Amino acid sequence: LAADLEKLTDEPCVTADGHHLSLWVNTGLRLDSQLSLDRGAEGVGLYRTEIPFLMLDRFPSEEEQRKAYREHLEMFAPRTVTMRTLDIGGDKDLPYFPIEEANPFLGWRGIRICLDHPEIFLVQLRAMMRASEGLNNLSILLPMISNVPELESALQLIYQVYDELTEEEGYQIEMPNVGAMIEVPAAVYQIRELARRVDFLSVGTNDLTQYLLAVDRNNPRVAELYHACHPSVLRALWAIAEGARGEDTPVSVCGEMAGDPIGAVLLMALGFRVLSMSATNLLKVKAILRQVSLSEAEQLLEEVMLMPDAGSVWRHMEKALKKPE
Ligand code: PEP
Ligand code: MG
């Protein structure tokens, strides 16, 4: 790591004109958790719980999950750890839970599987909440929400688990904050209905880009069409930020866009103040955000919002951010 970047570890993420942004990390493996702490992350915006499930040849038991989650929560306490409930299906298959489908990204994935298999979902929720006992730094994040009933069903199961643990079993647990991922285009158009039902929102730009542009995020043949700077993606992000603000619901971004210097500047200009990214990108993003001012970023956004395609947006941003002061 470059020495000039390393120096930023303990520096705040404040723009040239004094606006503060929170930089969080995405985690999954123990390895990146340590790196996240070393890089001065303010919290975990996305813990991909698929990882402990991928490391076994069967579903982990409640106790196995509780231990893995506890370790993560302890490591970051008192900072918040946002644990996403199981997001299998799509490109993430468990060998012991095979799913055969013609269109996995449009099929049985994320929250859809958990609602069809409450026995898997309830065990995971119990493990998460029990793991947070005495720490109370847990937030729960629901992936692939595409309609209101889905969100309400998931919330109901979360309250059910919480009531059982605290009222019937005597655990001393604070109710975790619960949030929804915004990563399906339908969620963008119902942003206020979703926002008012949760404690926070988190934008998954990887899937949102894939679904908005109809471009498989893993298919090299169409990789050139996959671009988070596509004007349609930027407009969707703008609508999300505005909708969340309208409901006073905190919103963060946890897709790859947040870990890219140009993406991060655009997201800041769009109104996002919490960005969650891979630990390896954290200091690079902090460096660029400390160099630009919010007003300059907003001016740039105004310019690129008039542009017709992703390439023009990208080149304009690149040129502007490279400009010597
Ligand atoms: C996303 O879709 O942007 C996201 C953060 O989740 P994942 O990459 O795990 O699908
Ligand atoms: Mg996703």
Which residues are in the CB-under-5-Å shell of ion ligand 2? 183, 204, 207
Low-confidence residues of the chain, pLDDT below 70? 323-325
DSSP string, 174-229: PPPEEEEEE-SHHHHHTHHHHHTTSSEEEE-HHHHHHHHHT--TT-GGGGGG--TT
236-252 pLDDT, tens digit per residue, is 999 999 999 999 999 99
CA distances from 279 to 26, 75, 251 (A): 7, 15, 20
84 C-beta closer than 6 A to ligand 1: no
What is the dihedral angle through the alpha carbons of 37, 41, 43, 49, rounded to the nearest 10 degrees? -60
pLDDT at 111: 98
Residue 112: HSE in the Cβ half-sphere, 13 Å Cα cutoff? 14
Ligand 2 center from residue 144 Cα (angstroms): 7
Task: Name the residue of 88, 206, 276 whose CB sits within 8 Å of the most ligand 1 atoms, as the mutation to test its pocket.
Answer: 206
Helices 30-38 and 62-76, interaxial angle, to 10°? 10
Give 47's strand partners: 27, 83
Structure tokens at 279: 């630990």
149-164 pLDDT, tens digit per residue, is 999 999 999 999 999 9
97-150 pLDDT, tens digit per residue, is 999 999 999 999 999 999 999 999 999 999 999 999 999 999 999 999 999 999
